[in-house]
Amino acid sequence: MDKPSFLFILNPNSGTSTGDQLQDLQKAIQKSALHHQSHAEVVFTESHGHAPVLVKEHLAQRPWKGIVAIGGDGTVNEVGSALVTGPVPLGILPMGSGNGLARHLGLPLKPQNALNRLFTGKPKLVDSALLNDIPFFCTAGIGFDAYVGNLFSQEKRRGLLSYMKVSFQSYWDYEPQRITLNGVAQDAFSITIANAGQYGNNAWIAPQASLQDGMLDICTIRPFPKWYGLKLVQQMFSKSLVPSRFIGYNKVLTSLIETKAPAMIHYDGEPLQLDTTRIEIKIRPSSLNIIC
């Protein structure tokens, strides 16, 4: 009988790994595959947007037991987008700056443990979502998160420290925006659509979000005094953010956000300048298998 085959798609730009570490990782993948009597192939992405092309090129070559994204939520998004609603499960080897989806799922973060899980785990069917037809799996949003995501994408250094630096600098001059959420006009610091509960690095924006409830959790942060930011951060990192006069939650199947001018959004941390003032969100229940 043929060995189970896994394709690994490695984004060398994600996280803070060095070239030597990536070489060691490739050796560890082959060693682990041998140990688990499996076959592994590793391919590198060459640019933003290359991972889905690699998935499509390789899909018909073998009956893959899993196609694994090596990177952070952006890489998971690209590989997942090419697998969603299809038969081949997504695997995650977390090597990004935030690793929000992997952390939400409780996947191992240490490479050796993550590899053991990938070769022995079972597919779990989870929800995904669409923002104007762009798939996302963890969170998407408009406002402060998108503003920071855009600045972070221009930074030379990735990783948590770089992200914290950009967030802190942005905090002082960021202005809330006027938006209409499902027909209700309001000023918002941010609106996050949470399929999974956290942005990454255990910053839980929607602690109650479930990947298997067939619903999206919308978290609206209204304009707040600067001192409240510290409390917000403390509550996010202790997974205890709750509704308050500044924080609102809704569970939805679909939503419509309208802006005065085409807005900057993010999907799974990837910034995107829209060319429309309408943002249509919808859940795709039970649409992706992830090896857990």
Ligand X SMILES: Nc1ncnc2c1ncn2[C@@H]1O[C@H](COP(=O)(O)OP(=O)(O)OP(=O)(O)O)[C@@H](O)[C@H]1O
- Taking the complex as a whole, the smallest distance from the CB of residue 276 to ligand X amounts, in Å, to 21
By beta-carbon proximity to ligand X, the closer residue of 160 and 232 is: 160
By beta-carbon proximity to ligand X, the closer residue of 23 and 120 is: 23
By beta-carbon proximity to ligand X, the closer residue of 179 and 206 is: 206
- Taking the complex as a whole, the smallest distance from the CB of residue 1 to ligand X amounts, in Å, to 34
- Taking the complex as a whole, the smallest distance from the CB of residue 177 to ligand X amounts, in Å, to 23
Q: What CA–CA distance (Å, rounded) separates 243 from 224?
A: 14
Report which residue's Cβ sits closest to ligand X: 72
By beta-carbon proximity to ligand X, the closer residue of 10 and 179 is: 10
- Taking the complex as a whole, the smallest distance from the CB of residue 43 to ligand X amounts, in Å, to 11
- Taking the complex as a whole, the smallest distance from the CB of residue 190 to ligand X amounts, in Å, to 17
Nearest 5°: CA angle at 118, between 113 and 124?
A: 120
Q: What are 269's two structure tokens?
A: 């941390």
Q: What CA–CA distance (Å, rounded) separates 153 from 137?
A: 19
Q: What CA–CA distance (Å, rounded) separates 123 from 197?
A: 20
- List contacts with ligand X (CB under 6 A): 11-15, 45-48, 50, 71-75, 78, 96-99, 158, 200, 269-270
Q: What CA–CA distance (Å, rounded) separates 150 from 169?
A: 13
By beta-carbon proximity to ligand X, the closer residue of 64 and 199 is: 199
- Alpha helices by DSSP H, 18-72: 19-35, 50-59
Q: Where is 15: in which H helix or E strand? A: none
